[in-house]
Structure 1
Amino acid sequence: MAPPPATPVPLLNYPDASVSDYRFALNSEGDQIIFERSVNKSPAVLFYAALNSPIQPSLFPPNSHYESATRPDWSWSNGQIAFCIDGGIVITDADGSNLSFLSSTKGMIYPAWYPNVSALAVMNNNPAPNPHTSVISGSGELDIPVVAGTTVWAGMPSVNPQNPQQFAFAGQYIGSQIKYNQDTNYIWFVDRGQDPIVIRPLDKNANVTGPFEEAYQGRAPWWSPDGNWIAFESNRDAPANSGHYAIYVQDSGGVNAAMQVTDYKYNGNHPKWFANGVGLVATLLQAPPAPQRGLYSLDVSAFVG
């Protein structure tokens, strides 16, 4: 039996009905964060904050003129930050300097850094199949066009920090479907180090090619620093018609059932791990049922200990 839901602890000054904070990236020390912020329902742009500091969050990159900037990831090996704008992916140093737009990445989103190398896994919305996971270099060159073959649509990816041959992504078997639908995703596991390549749902009880099973639904996976766990969001047990998600944790081998970390009332999304491997950050509703979101830490030592 899974432990009771974790108690959310706000990372910034919440509640604040004027802002809604969403997808984010942590540095390797876990004391700085880059995140999406919408102010008074404006389009989301990136902000920077030093955690445990009274200083208010500031625009990132400094003096940024992007109308929209989203989906950041922070490399724990080279310190660079990758994020999305409407035309593709941008890479910058941690202080916002040396900004580089990767002109060949149009249609690519959700950049996720490889451990110890300047490469990124991305959700690629360019053709064949659409979408799919690709691997690009730090300069935007396409290194691996399609990670998981042509039978699966693949959304947001994550790379195992201990074994970069292994990927997780939110996706679905194509079958007779007409288009990708993120609400019918499973979390998928890929091991390119095996021959043949392993491509399967993370939970070994989920069917691969049959009808979608709500009991295994999941999105936005993120691998733990030790490679043993994957955190993700799911609506598999949500109250009827709520449209809400909760944060879950599952062993990366997919042997045991996923464990629910947050109450559905918080509508949890996009978990990522602290470097200590026993803490998560997720975006939750600040004051349910109000729609404004915030960034909260979750102690999951009871789940992964």
Structure 2
Amino acid sequence: MSAAPALNSGYSYRERVRPQAAGLSVLDYYAHFYPHSDRATWAARLAAGEIELNGQPAGGDERLRQGDRLTWHRPPWQEEAVPLHYDLLYADAALLAVGKPSGLPTLPAGGFLDHTLLALLRRDFPAATPLHRLGRGTSGLVLCSLTREAGAKLTADWREGRVHKRYRALAAGRAARGSYDITAPIGLVEHPRLGQIYAAAPDGKPSRSRARVLERRESSTLLEVDIETGRPHQIRIHLASVGLPLLGDPLYLPGGQAQPDALPGDLGYRLHAEQLTFQHPVSGAPLCLRAPVPPELRAGFSSCG
């Protein structure tokens, strides 16, 4: 008789009430800002004593003020099965670089806590701190710091554009041009099922990606993409904005907007973080780290073998 799947240890989600939420009831707040669960589910969590307002159990009718402290004590749960492994690509006393498989979340979020790259890394390298996040469906290179000093230096380099990032992407359709310089702004937009989501937005933050065609296939295009900014879902949004959404992307439509009936989930597309080029934060020596490219993202790949 097999053992029941293990539960994680539960988690407490803590936050401060944002200005636009002042005046809402506690129940209205959670139902509006976290629509992944319906209103009845949030009411049941309140009735079970899982939610606190300013350190006290909340009933749900209390009116919120800006800066109030809300905590949802989520009980232990069984997490979705994901690939629970990574590849070690580089390590020294200050840095760690690993290859993340598609399907493994980088950081805890949503329904994932223990089934994340961070949790796996911390078991082997307790000081490891990822310096950037790859989407759950994105594979490839994740760079981590092992010291506070290395993390601070690389975070500054990242912010100032001194870290060069290159990806491989497989887009639906055949590209009409050989290269694309994409500058569509990216920002949060309202979504009927997900609350808010990042998408192409006229009032969003400046963003820039440079895409180059590596190979045109029968109904898709293999691209190499360098990004000069690091907005959430940037490559997915930018390629969609020029009519080349990632093949199998469940979320982004041509034009860079999100599917209105999309549900939470981040799988199906082909995107790989291939290369990072930067200066070592301690020695100052140039480093170029690479994650092996999956077969389907290599030029000349044939699904027929």
Q: Is the pair's TM-score, using the shorter chain for normalization, greater than 0.5?
A: no
The structure carrying a bigger strand percent of its residues is 1
Question: Which TM bucket (shorter chain)?
Answer: under 0.3
TM-score calculated relative to the size of structure 2: 0.28
Task: Find the structure with the greater CA-based Rg.
Answer: 2
